[in-house]
Structure 1
Amino acid sequence: MAEHCWPVSVPYATIYAYSSVAACADLAFALIPLTFFGSVWWNVRERLVIALLMGLGVFAAAAVIKLTLMYMYGATGDMLWDFVDLNTRSILEGQLGIVTACVPRLKSLF
């Protein structure tokens, strides 16, 4: 059985589809606190922390940055090497999402 590689268009389409869905979901989840932000009476420090967390969520939603790296994917002919920047950005987004999710539990420490 002869093996063959996928054309470059398949990973491109997959990355574009995943990045757009992930960016929309991250942005939606980051903006959910705006629905109750004005109705809750918090002091200035708590509002600032919530705004910072929302900002981290919006930063994690910046999957558009990954899309700007797409022009380099497949340029050298070595797909694995070309995927390093995209993969690094994806891992950074995931780790930042975990940090953002864990920060509210640290409120009692501060």
Structure 2
Amino acid sequence: MPELEDVSYSEAECVAAVGAYYEFLTKMYLDESEVIYPPKGGWPSIAQADPEVLARFGKTDKVVSLLAHLPYIRNTGGIEDGIQATPECPFADWDDIFTYIPRKRM
């Protein structure tokens, strides 16, 4: 196993790993239609977000770029009835969050 200092970050590999995990979940319990993929260039609500909105989240540029390019689980049931990653822990749909937050005060 490589040492931590030998590991490098790759956004493309992170996106691929999350996508592969979600594909695995579709074989377990998710419907394939519940996994949504970003358009080319990333989720517009994140990739083209107002810098002031981005600052509210306290995320680095690398994290924002990763969030913009990840697939997400469509969470139409809300916090209580949505698809759960673990008990009482719904998957986060950052595209939806970045769409909703600018309309609310943080």
Query: TM over 0.5, yes or no?
Result: no
Q: Give the alignment's TM-score, normalised by structure 2.
A: 0.35
Query: Which structure has greater helix proportion?
Result: 1
**Structure number, greater radius of gyration:** 1
Structure whose residues are more often strand by fraction: 2
TM-score (norm 1): 0.34
